C-alpha cells in the first residue's frame, strides 16, 4: 500500500502528499472507533481509489503532536521575533522556548526587522544573540526588506516540518513571502492564498518551501504552562539543566536550596540573570496554577 504525509485537513478530508501528487482522502471508520484523529504532519498508509482520491488505512506512530495548532511530527519551531516594532521581548521568547522545549521540538530563533535598528539597538540585540547562542540555540538575524539572513534560513527548512510562531506584527507573513514569493501572503491581514478567510474554517496547512514543509499557522494559540510541572521546568532551560548537575540535592528547584549549581552559575555570570528571573516567574506561575480534577 502507498504511504504519504497529510499536508492539509479540511471538512473531513485529508490531503495526502505522495511523491508530487496530492490525494484527497477520507479516514476509515476504524479511526473513530479507536478514537484516532489523523493530523496534518501524520505519515499514513492509504488506499488509492483513483489518481486523486482514496482512503487512509493507517496512521503511523507520531514522534510528537501539538494540540494548538493541531499538527504532528513537527521537527522545528521557527520563533520569529522583531528587533523593533514591536521591541524584542526576551520574556516572551523564553515563554515560547519553554513550550517548544517541553514538546521536544527544536527551536530556531529568527530576529526580524534588523534594517530598522540603530547602533544602540544593534548592540542590545547582539548581547541577546550571544546569550541565546551560549545556551545552545541557533539564532538568525533577518530583514524581509533587504533579505538579510534569508539565505541562512533555507538550509534549516530543508527536509523538515516547521511551525512558524511569534507575536503579532513581528513579520511572519513578510518572512514567508520572501522565502516563497508566489505565496503573496497579506501582511497583518487575512491570507486568501491559504484559504484563511473570515468565514472559512480555520485550518492548518503545510506549504512547501524548497524541500521542506512549513505550517501556515501562526503557531501556539495558547502560551499557558498548563501541562508543565514544576520539576520539569528546569529541563526547558538548557543552560539551567546543565548547571543543575552540580546541585547538591536531587529535585532542586533553584530557589533557596543550599549548594545550588544553578544559582552559582547565575552569580558567576554563566547564566544571564534575566533568564534565571524568567525561570523563577514561570515556576511561580506553575505553582500558583489552579489544580485540575
* pLDDT tier, 20 (very low <50, low <70, confident <90, very high otherwise): confident
Amino acid 219: pLDDT: 58
- Cα–Cα distance for residue pair 55/28, rounded to 1 Å: 7
Measure the CA–CA gap between 96 and 78, rounded to whole angstroms. 10
Q: Are residues 13 and 110 in the same domain?
A: no
pLDDT at residue number 193? 42
**What is the pLDDT at residue 293?**
60
Say how many domains are in the chain: 3
- The answer to whether residues 149 and 181 belong to one domain is yes
| Section 229-241 average pLDDT | 97
Query: Domain check: are 192 and 104 in the same one?
Result: yes
Task: Check whether residue 110 and residue 239 sit in a common domain.
Answer: no
Chain-centre distance of CA 161, in angstroms?
10
Q: What is the mean pLDDT of residues 172-188?
A: 80
188: pLDDT strictly greater than 80:
no
Residue 39 lies in domain: 3-61
For residues 144 and 279, membership in a common domain is answered with no
Give the chain's mean pLDDT.
Answer: 88
Is 188 in the same domain as 236?
Answer: no
Identify whether residues 164 and 240 lie together within a single domain.
no
Q: Does residue 131 belong to any structural domain of this protein?
A: yes
In this predicted model, what pLDDT tens digit does every residue of 55-112 receive, in sequence order? 999 999 999 888 778 899 999 999 999 999 999 999 999 999 999 999 899 999 999 9
Look at residue 129 and tell me whether its pLDDT is greater than 80: yes
Would you say residue 223 lies in a domain?
Answer: no
Quick one: 28 and 79 in the same domain? no
CATH number assigned to the domain comprising residue 77: 3.40.50.300
Which whole-number Å values give the CA distances from 28 to 19, 84, 100, 143, 179, in the listed order?
22, 49, 32, 46, 37
pLDDT range class, residue 241, cuts 50, 70, 90: very high
Phi-psi region of 216 (alpha: psi -120 to 50; beta: other; left: phi over 0): alpha
For residue 118, what is its C-alpha cell? 540603530
10 Å CB burial of residue 233 (0-12, 13-18, 19+) is: buried
All residues at 6 or more sequence positions from 228 whose CB lies less than 8 Å from its CB, including other chains: 98, 102, 236, 286
State mean pLDDT over 133-145: 96
Amino acid at each position: 500500500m502507498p504511504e504519504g504525509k497529510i499536508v492539509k485537513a479540511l471538512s473531513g478530508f485529508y490531503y495526502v502528499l505522495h511523491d508530487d501528487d496530492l490525494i484527497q482522502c477520507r479516514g476509515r471508520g476504524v479511526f473513530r472507533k479507536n478514537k484516532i484523529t489523523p493530523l496534518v504532519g501524520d505519515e499514513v498508509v492509504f488506499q488509492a481509489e483513483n489518481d486523486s482520491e482514496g482512503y487512509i488505512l493507517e496512521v503511523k506512530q507520531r514522534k510528537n503532536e501539538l494540540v494548538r495548532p493541531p499538527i504532528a511530527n513537527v521537527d522545528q519551531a521557527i520563533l520569529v521575533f522583531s528587533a523593533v516594532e514591536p521591541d524584542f521581548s526576551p520574556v516572551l521568547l523564553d515563554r515560547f522556548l519553554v513550550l517548544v522545549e517541553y514538546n521536544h521540538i527544536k527551536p530556531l530563533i529568527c530576529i526580524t526587522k534588523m534594517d530598522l535598528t540603530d547602533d544602540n539597538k544593534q548592540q542590545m540585540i547582539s548581547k541577546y544573540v550571544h546569550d541565546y547562542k551560549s545556551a545552545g540555540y541557533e539564532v538568525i538575524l533577518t530583514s524581509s526588506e533587504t533579505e538579510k539572513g534569508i539565505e541562512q534560513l533555507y538550509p534549516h527548512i530543508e527536509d523538515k516540518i516547521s511551525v512558524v510562531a511569534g507575536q503579532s506584527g513581528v513579520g511572519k507573513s513578510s518572512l514567508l513571502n520572501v522565502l516563497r514569493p508566489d505565496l503573496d501572503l497579506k501582511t497583518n491581514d487575512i491570507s486568501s492564498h491559504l484559504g484563511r478567510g473570515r468565514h472559512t474554517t480555520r485550518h492548518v496547512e503545510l506549504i512547501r518551501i524548497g524541500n521542506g514543509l512549513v505550517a501556515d499557522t501562526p503557531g501556539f494559540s495558547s502560551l499557558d504552562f498548563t501541562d508543565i510541572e514544576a520539576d520539569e521546568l528546569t529541563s526547558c532551560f538548557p543552560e539551567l539543566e546543565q548547571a543543575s548537575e552540580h546541585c547538591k540535592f536531587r529535585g532542586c528547584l533553584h530557589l533557596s536550596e543550599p549548594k545550588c549549581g544553578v544559582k552559582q552559575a547565575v552569580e558567576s555570570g554563566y547564566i544571564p540573570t534575566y533568564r534565571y528571573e524568567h525561570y523563577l516567574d514561570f515556576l511561580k506561575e506553575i505553582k500558583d496554577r489552579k489544580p485540575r480534577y
